[in-house]
């Protein structure tokens, strides 16, 4: 039987794994500079945690969730996104009783049953931030600023910020009536999914990828004409804040994001480096979600960043993450009897933060030197019977070919000075 990864999943190998680790590391560094604290939520949650907030009409809930029953028949779902679990934790742990706002970030694996394609797998990574407990438009600006600065830190400068206001529940009411009327008249020309969305959540029609539906929706009413004065003022302050930070943006009247919980500000960041699937992050404000989950009325805003797509962008742009660090010292032994001595020396080198290795495949002396060449090591330590009888070790500098003998008891200090380990 030949075992393979399940469809939609993959092994992440070197060097891509280095890119992902680099994104996680840089994200954590920047998030902490902005005052965010890390939170880790479970890999799976009660299914209602996601269905209640994301919405039944969303593609995620209706098509993409990995839902299963445990041995007691309880419905559980692998985490498809990060905000709902953070909100659940915020309420469960009574964080609302602490000084607000609470600023949290996560680095996590997510799971969605989607059609596998470039930059989109069924298991993927996200980093994200949430600011819970403030309605200040500058909190929206901070989240967007953080994202833009993260991409600059990663070397990704060719990005576009698209932004819109989805208004509040009050000002959306009249808009939804007019939108539904518009859609019902054209329902026979719309796809099956859009007709389902008309009944469950009409705003989801703007998520449709069907080209015919897109053409029909191009003439639909726009939410901006229905925004109440309070939401309009909030959005204007967000735009003003972005301008003050010299963050360019493009208004998109039909940007609604994929989840039901969004209100007021919504945004996406795209890059031309990814082709058609060009979104690398998205977020917005969700001022009702915490209350809907049983918590006190609490305003909030957040963003999720696609790590896999960001890594793809960096690789497409030939951006190097960590400087490649080769093994610095390779130990060569003349025979098997000396391998134990080599192993002890290897352990001491590594204990002093000197990257080092040795052969475990009983290669010949020539084969061990070839391995050292492949590893691009700087120095080779040769343990021979005659050298050790004199309490010596041979040291060869691979670049120059220079070779000398050093005292066995002084190998560690000598190598620390050579490699400049402190």
Does residue 38 or residue 190 have the better pLDDT? 38
Domain 16-168+228-316 listed as CATH 3.40.50.300: no
Can you give the pLDDT at residue 126?
A: 96
Least confident of 22-26, 208-212, 298-302, 412-416: 208-212
Give the pLDDT mean for 3-14: 92
Q: Which residue has the higher pLDDT, 52 or 277?
A: 52
Q: How large is the average pLDDT for residues 18-29?
A: 96
Q: What is the pLDDT of residue 258?
A: 62
d(CA 373, CA 276): 43
CATH superfamily of 329-419: Anticodon-binding domain (3.40.50.800)
β-partners of residue 124 are: 110
Report angle CA 400, 401, 402 to the nearest 5 degrees.
Answer: 90
Give the model's pLDDT for residue 132.
Answer: 98
What is the mean pLDDT of the segment spanning 354-368? 94
Distances from the Cα of 131 to the Cα of 139, 160, 354, 356, angstroms: 7, 23, 42, 44
Q: What is the pLDDT of residue 144?
A: 98
pLDDT at residue 119 greater than cutoff 70: no
Per-residue pLDDT tens over the stretch 181-206: 998 988 888 898 888 888 877 887 88
Cβ atoms of 264 and 300 closer than 8 Å: no
Could you identify the residue written with the tokens 């054209």?
A: 186
Give the closest residue to 120 by CA, choosing from 82, 80, 148. 80
Q: What is the pLDDT of residues 129-160, one digit of tens each?
A: 999 999 999 999 999 999 999 999 999 988 99
By three-state DSSP, how is residue 146 classified? helix
Q: What is the pLDDT of residues 386-396, one digit of tens each?
A: 888 899 999 99
**Distance between CA 311 and CA 121 in Å, rounded?**
13
Give yes or no for a contact between 12 and 20, defined as CB atoms under 8 angstroms apart. Answer: yes
All structural domains of the chain with their residue ranges = 16-168+228-316, 329-419
Tell me the average pLDDT across 107-129: 89
Please report the pLDDT score of residue 366 as a whole number.
94
So what's the pLDDT on residue 56? 65
Report pTM: 0.88
């Amino acid at each position: 039987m030949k075992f393979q990864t399940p469809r939609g999943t993959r092994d992440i190998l070197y060097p891509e794994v280095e890119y992902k680790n680099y994104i996680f590391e840089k994200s954590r560094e920047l998030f902490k500079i902005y005052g965010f604290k890390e939170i880790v939520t479970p890999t799976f949650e009660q299914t209602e945690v996601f269905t209640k907030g994301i919405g039944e009409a969303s593609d995620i809930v209706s098509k993409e969730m990995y839902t299963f029953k445990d041995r007691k028949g309880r419905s559980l779902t692998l985490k498809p996104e990060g905000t709902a679990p953070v909100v659940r934790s915020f309420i469960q742990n009574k964080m609302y009783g602490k000084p607000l706002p609470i600023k949290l970030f996560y680095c996590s694996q997510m799971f969605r049953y989607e059609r596998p394609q470039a930059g989109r797998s069924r298991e993927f990574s996200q980093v994200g931030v949430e600011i819970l407990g403030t309605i200040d438009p500058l909190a929206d600006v901070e989240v967007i600023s953080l994202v833009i600065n993260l991409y600059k830190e990663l070397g990704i400068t060719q990005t576009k910020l698209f932004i819109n206001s989805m208004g509040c529940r009050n000002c959306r009411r009249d808009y939804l009536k007019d939108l539904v009327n518009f859609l019902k008249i054209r329902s026979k020309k719309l796809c099956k999914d859009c007709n389902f969305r008309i009944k469950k959540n009409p705003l989801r029609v703007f998520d449709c990828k069907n080209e015919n539906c897109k053409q029909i929706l191009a003439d639909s009413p726009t939410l901006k004409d229905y925004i109440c004065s309070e939401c309009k003022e909030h959005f204007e302050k967000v735009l003003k804040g972005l301008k003050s930070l010299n963050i360019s943006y493009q208004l998109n009247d039909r940007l609604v994001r994929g989840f039901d919980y969004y209100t007021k500000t919504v945004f996406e960041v795209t890059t031309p480096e990814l082709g058609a699937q060009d979104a690398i992050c998205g977020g917005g404000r969700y001022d009702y979600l915490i209350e809907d989950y049983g918590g006190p009325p609490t305003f909030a805003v957040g963003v999720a960043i696609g790590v896999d797509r960001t890594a793809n962008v960096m690789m497409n742009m030939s951006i190097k993450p960590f400087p490649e660090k080769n093994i610095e010292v390779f130990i060569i032994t003349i025979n098997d009897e000396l391998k134990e001595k080599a192993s002890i020396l290897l352990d001491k080198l590594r204990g002093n933060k000197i990257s080092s290795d040795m052969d475990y495949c009983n290669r010949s002396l020539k084969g061990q030197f070839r391995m050292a060449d492949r590893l691009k090591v700087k120095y080779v330590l040769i343990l021979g019977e005659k050298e050790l009888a004199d309490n010596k070790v041979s040291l060869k500098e691979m670049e120059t070919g220079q070779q000398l003998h050093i005292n066995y008891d002084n190998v560690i200090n000598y190598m620390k000075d050579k490699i400049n380990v402190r």
